[in-house]
Structure 1
Amino acid sequence: MANKGIIGKLFGSKPADGLDDYTEINLEEIEEAQGSGPAETYVRVGELASLGQIPELKREIYNGNIVIADITPIKGDSLTRDRALKDLKQVALDVSGDIAMINDNQVVVTPMSIKIDRTKFTSK
């Protein structure tokens, strides 16, 4: 087998069926090449089931992390949902970050210097 080099090792080889624009990616090899050191910013994913969880979400945002919260458990309780979203909007303002609904059940909140592009893109 010929030496593929680092790019070949990371991204695999093109399939034999002639699809020139498709490349199989082995994520395990990419993770090994990147290492497992700490990051400056993490994407934290969680479920928001009560207002008691808001302080933990705020702490993550104040620490510079991106938070994606599933609000499905509180979706039926408009008072709790509105209060939680108000609190998350306030923390986004406090840190000069951003907040947006991903869909009806998820909200993303970003820290300072990370803005959310609200336009959807598609591949051509």
Structure 2
Amino acid sequence: MGIMTKILGGGGNRSVDDYVELEMDDFAEASTGAGMQVHIAEIGDQSDVIPIKDAVYDGDLVIADITRHSTSDRTVEHIIDELRQVAEEVDGDIVQKGDDQLVVVPTGVSISRQKLS
């Protein structure tokens, strides 16, 4: 049994000729208006929080590098509190991964606290 027969479910009413082969350009055009994007950010100071907040308000996911700050630094505590407030406002989620990353997600997305095994 060929792969298309498996995909088509064996003996349905469709044949391979009923499907259109898509080019990668078709996906690129379709994805330009796609919903959520993933952004990578570095937080060096308080002003770096503004584009992160904007991205989360726009429905995007942000992974932010906070290695320039120690976790006991008051600045990073203030930044985390500010981003936590944004996550709550949009009904999203926020988690700190280790000492060096924050992940902030928008409405409808939650972050699992369990590692995949």
TM-score computed with the length of structure 1 as normaliser: 0.69
Give per-residue Cα distances to partners, 1:11-42, cap 9 Å, x unaligned.
xxxxxxxxxxxxxxxxxxxx937721222000
Partner of 1:32: 24
Structure 1's 121 and 59: CA in aligned 2 closer, same or farther, altered over 3 A?
same
1:81-100 correspondence to structure 2 within 5 Å: 81-100=76-95
Partner of 1:47: 42
- Cα distance between partner residues in 1 of 2:51 and 2:25: 32
SS in 1 for 2:52: helix
Say what the alpha-carbon RMSD is for the aligned residues. Answer: 2.3
SS in 1 for 2:85: helix
Partner of 1:60: 55
SS in 1 for 2:91: coil
Paired positions, count: 95
Runs of 4+ in 1 over 3 A off after TM superposition: none
TM-score computed with the length of structure 2 as normaliser: 0.73
Task: List alignment gaps of at least 5 residues for structure 2.
Answer: 5-22
Task: List alignment gaps of at least 5 residues for structure 1.
Answer: 6-30
Give per-residue Cα distances to partners, 1:58-105, cap 9 Å, x unaligned.
000000000100000122671111010010000000000000012210
Query: Could you tell me how far 1:46 is from its partner in structure 2?
Result: 0.9
Partner of 1:14: none
- Cα distance between partner residues in 2 of 1:45 and 1:34: 26
